[in-house]
Structure 1
Amino acid sequence: MPSTSRTAPGQDALLPSAAHPGPAGPGLLSRLGLRFTAWAERWFPDAYVFAAIAAAVVAVAALLNGSSPLVVAKSFGDGFWSLNVFTMQMALVAIGGYVVATSPPAARFIGRLASVPVSGRQAIAYVAAISMILSLFNWGISLIFSALYVRALARRTELRMDYRAAGAAAYLGLGATWALGLSSSAAQLQANAASLPKSILDITGVIPFSQTIFLWQSMVMALVLITVSVAIALWSAPTAESAVTAQDLGIDLAEAKPATDATAARRPGEWLERSPLLTLLLCALGFGWLAQEFMAKSPLIAIAGLNTYNLLFLMIGMLLHWRPRSFLDAVSRSVPSTAGVIIQFPLYGAIAAMLTAAKGDGGHTLSDRIAHLFVSISSVDSFAVVMGAYSAILGFFIPSGGGKWIIEAPYVMQAANELKVHLGWAVQVYNAAEALPNLINPFWMLPLLGVLSLKARDIVGFTFLQLLVHAPLVLFMLWFLGRTLSYVAPVMP
């Protein structure tokens, strides 16, 4: 990939002068975004190096906690392959989304949508809004659709859109709002008794969506975050004169075009590749299974399962491409976007295991130490801020919504019960804080970066600017809105 560690063309145009007057707010944010990006491009490591450094830091911390080197090494190896299923699922999220979005019908829709913005900065604001709204329904759709929308916008060279800022805007669904919507693993788990481990169910009972993501306080928080994030994305976007476009970065945008769908087979053995017969057969089987899943479960619960989600998108992709050859060509083009996921997710599995399984002095793990520290300093008034900060810090090392909730919920929710904090709001405290570390942790960026042909350092300057605003804003809203709720005793199934 071409290096982007260079000064943006026309960057001097952002410096205040009589020749370049402009609003103080937008100018300041734009300068900050470019300066953070310049720093990140120089100093922020590749996502793989970032994960490796995190693993080393956690290993050293586990040793200081009293764990023996053999115990730390064993937990590292045991956890290394613990995310195998999830890794495959995430790779298929990228593949399925890419295949659907590059099909001729979907590509035409994205192309029409890309024709709406009239300037590069407006285009970035559109990307941010679409990414966050889609994430409330499904984070996977948000991630892939937004990335392909950025590519379509980037092909409009007359926009002079900064490709890095647009990539950062496409990531805001995962960095701001996804956990406040239907994608929330914690809310989904708490609403379904059959999904909850007994250790959690005995403490919290069942907490329906009406007491978590559908609380008016939660919806207000999501609306505020969307509004603020779009404003920051707009005001921090470089002007046309200083924008670094995809063409400036040497990124080939032609790969996202729909596959050609030639109907004439050159050899007898290619006939089935060019015929829709196999597509129709496989789609009949796949949609038959999906129909049973959606009839047996709530549609919201069914689509939340990654296996169901991935099968749905692969079937839709097959159908939209119509002929196997077109479908396979799209899959081939999508595979490079999964490289980061495949090689880096094992390190995150190892990090999680060292945090939660490497016991040290007194039989306590690092996760235990951190959790007990935060719980011990909480009060009914400070619970939202303290636990929000704790969840964000732990989320930096264990970036897994549902998996981390199973680790945290027993002591977090027990503390909420003892302090008489609204249990549904305690879930939302976790959810809102869960997204904060995503803004600088490359874990969830990888599928998006693969589609965009960028590196984490290219977008993290802009996402870090969002984090500077989001962190105090989220913690304030968790505290302020939480004061409007009263404790409700757990409802046991």
Structure 2
Amino acid sequence: MLKFLSRPAVRLVERYLPDPYIFVLLLTIVAAAAAIAVERQNPLAVMRYWGDGFWSLLTFSMQMLLVLVTGFMLANTPPVKRLLQRLASLAKNAGGAIVLVTLVSLVASWINWGFGLVVGALFAKELARQIRVDYRLLIASAYSGFIVWHGGLAGSIPLTIATDGHFTVDRIGVIGTGSTIFSFFNLAIVACLFIVVPLVNRLMLPDEQESVHVDPALLDDAPKPFGHTSRPAEYLENSYILAWLVGIPGLLFLLDHFLLRGGGLNLNIVNFLFLSLAIVLHRTPRRLLDSLHEAIKGGAGIVIQFPFYAGIMAIMVESGLAETLSKGLISFATSETLPFWSFLSAGVVNMFVPSGGGQWAVQAPVMLPAAEALGTDITRVAMAVAWGDAWTNLLQPFWALPVLAIAGLKAKDIMGFCLIQLFITGAIISLGLTYF
């Protein structure tokens, strides 16, 4: 049945889903028009919101570009390539490859979302080199594991409300991760998704005659070998000692961060880890630079699109549109159904504000008073917003950009399969938030 349903979904998305850049342009127009029509904002004010906020995600954009680049460079090192090859050899057929890449992506995304995006895509490429499998579904499976990130160790909302001095501390206090990430209902949702998501991906596997395969030779992204060293500068470029004098202290810094200072994973630490390992394992600056030249080719989408999303977020927040949207969706909720409507409203808002932390800043002032008025468990409502933010990433191509860049595909190639996952995972998460 899922194979049957996935066919029209894939055809529908391939035909009508535009390139992510066109998608973000359309979202910009929709957000601006809605701010004018619904919030009665004048066009000049909306234009100012957009322009003032356009560059507010520059730091995050650079972080995401580095996630792509450093992860790619690390995967191109000989030791990591051998590890991925051995792990990929565990899959003996196309179905096994789909299940394996989904599980790897789920585990990596639960640990850290940036780690999960890169690891899943790189592992999928290695599987495609070894096994004849539908490449679209393979990459979609790698991306589908991202669904669990906000219920995992790096979830923005549960970590925010567990931090002393967070912006809603006067209203809800500090809520530890034992009540959110490690609560029974959240772990039950995660466990269900670890079972269902790989199974659904496997059941969507097209028949051989309908599959789209890729020539393994096209996936060869190994850096070009360097020639004979003849200039003094080339000795530095090919120096093991120079690379290790920088890379090894980077790894020692990370040991200090984790072991002596008790630090955790965040995007900067993930990038620092990927880069330090890549420097050491490539062994020479020249090999690292050759790998960098290959990696940077896929970063164009991140560079051009993330500022537009920053502008959309500014329109949604500054005009009051995000708050109005959230209030409208929870206006008829009861104590029992508030988590569900919070989840649904977060999924809708995420299409325009694809940032977990940013979304909580927008929705917390709406959701928390509603939870207090209805007597609903605040931690469940907070996690409902977190899961809603993660859920519609299966439809919103914002977070798929690094995966697509690594894989060399377009959003329309994978989003048809993700659309099926959207409906199934949405039902599971809704039931978990309401009844678990």
Bin for the TM-score computed over the shorter chain: over 0.9
2:247, 2:276 within 8 Å by CA — same for their partners in 1?
yes
Aligned match of 1:465: 420
Measure the CA separation in 1 of the matches of 2:428 and 2:346: 15
Which letter maps to 1:419? Answer: L
Which residues of structure 1 form unaligned runs of 5+? Answer: 1-27, 359-364, 482-493
Deviation at 1:251, TM superposition (A): 8.1
Deviation at 1:402, TM superposition (A): 1.3
Which letter maps to 2:199? Answer: A
Aligned match of 1:216: 184
Aligned match of 2:193: 225
Aligned match of 1:129: 103
Aligned match of 1:283: 247
Aligned match of 2:218: 252
1:263, 1:274 within 8 Å by CA — same for their partners in 2?
no
Measure the CA separation in 1 of the matches of 2:330 and 2:96: 44
Deviation at 1:46, TM superposition (A): 0.3
Structure 2 residue corresponding to 1:187, chosen from 129, 145, 158: 158
Deviation at 1:279, TM superposition (A): 1.5
Question: Residues 364-383 of structure 1: CA distance to partner in whole angstroms, max 9, x if unpaired?
Answer: x1122112223432221111
Aligned match of 1:30: 3
Which letter maps to 1:170? Answer: A
Question: Residues 194-223 of structure 1: CA distance to partner in whole angstroms, max 9, x if unpaired?
Answer: 4x12xx111111111100010122111101
**In structure 2, the residue corresponding to 1:397 is in which secondary structure?**
coil
Which letter maps to 2:28? Answer: A
Aligned match of 1:312: 273
Q: Where do residues 357-376 of structure 1 align in structure 2 (5 Å cutoff)?
A: 357-358=318-319, 365-376=320-331
Deviation at 1:410, TM superposition (A): 2.7
1:121, 1:239 within 8 Å by CA — same for their partners in 2?
no
Measure the CA separation in 1 of the matches of 2:190 and 2:336: 22
1:114, 1:153 within 8 Å by CA — same for their partners in 2?
yes
Which letter maps to 1:471? Answer: G
Aligned match of 1:428: 383
Which residues of structure 2 form unaligned runs of 5+? Answer: none
- Shift of the 347–439 alpha-carbon distance from structure 1 to 2, 3 Å rule, reads same
Structure 2 residue corresponding to 1:378, chosen from 298, 322, 333: 333
Aligned match of 1:168: 140
1:203, 1:410 within 8 Å by CA — same for their partners in 2?
no
Aligned match of 1:303: 265
Q: Where do residues 231-270 of structure 1 align in structure 2 (5 Å cutoff)?
A: 231-247=199-215, 252-255=218-221, 257=222, 259=223, 264-270=228-234
Structure 1 residue corresponding to 2:112, chosen from 116, 134, 138: 138
Aligned match of 2:12: 39
Question: Residues 447-485 of structure 1: CA distance to partner in whole angstroms, max 9, x if unpaired?
Answer: 00000000000000000011121222221221112xxxx
**In structure 1, the residue corresponding to 2:98 is in which secondary structure?**
helix
Deviation at 1:120, TM superposition (A): 1.2
Question: Residues 322-377 of structure 1: CA distance to partner in whole angstroms, max 9, x if unpaired?
Answer: 1111111111111012111111111111110011113xxxxxx1122112223432
Which letter maps to 2:49? Answer: S
Matched, 1:204 2:166: no
Deviation at 1:446, TM superposition (A): 0.1
Aligned match of 1:486: none
Deviation at 1:262, TM superposition (A): 5.3
Measure the CA separation in 2 of the matches of 1:280 and 1:42: 50
User: Which shifted more, 262-271 or 428-437?
Assistant: 262-271
Aligned match of 1:334: 295
Deviation at 1:153, TM superposition (A): 1.4
Q: Report runs of 4+ in structure 1 exceeding 6 Å deviation.
A: none
Deviation at 1:124, TM superposition (A): 1.0
Measure the CA separation in 2 of the matches of 1:131 and 1:97: 14
Measure the CA separation in 1 of the matches of 2:19 and 2:164: 41
Structure 1 residue corresponding to 2:58, chosen from 81, 84, 94: 84
Aligned match of 2:356: 401
Tell me the TM-score normalized by structure 1.
0.85
Aligned match of 1:112: 86
Measure the CA separation in 2 of the matches of 1:265 and 1:415: 69
- Shift of the 71–297 alpha-carbon distance from structure 1 to 2, 3 Å rule, reads farther
Structure 1 residue corresponding to 2:309, chosen from 342, 345, 348: 348
**In structure 2, the residue corresponding to 1:319 is in which secondary structure?**
helix
Which letter maps to 1:464? Answer: L
Deviation at 1:151, TM superposition (A): 1.1
How many residue pairs match? The answer is: 435
Which letter maps to 2:46? Answer: V
Aligned match of 1:415: 370
Measure the CA separation in 2 of the matches of 1:251 and 1:454: 16
Aligned match of 1:273: 237
Superposition RMSD in Å: 1.8
Measure the CA separation in 1 of the matches of 2:355 and 2:12: 28
Deviation at 1:419, TM superposition (A): 2.4
User: Which shifted more, 418-427 or 184-193?
Assistant: 418-427
Which letter maps to 1:477? Answer: G
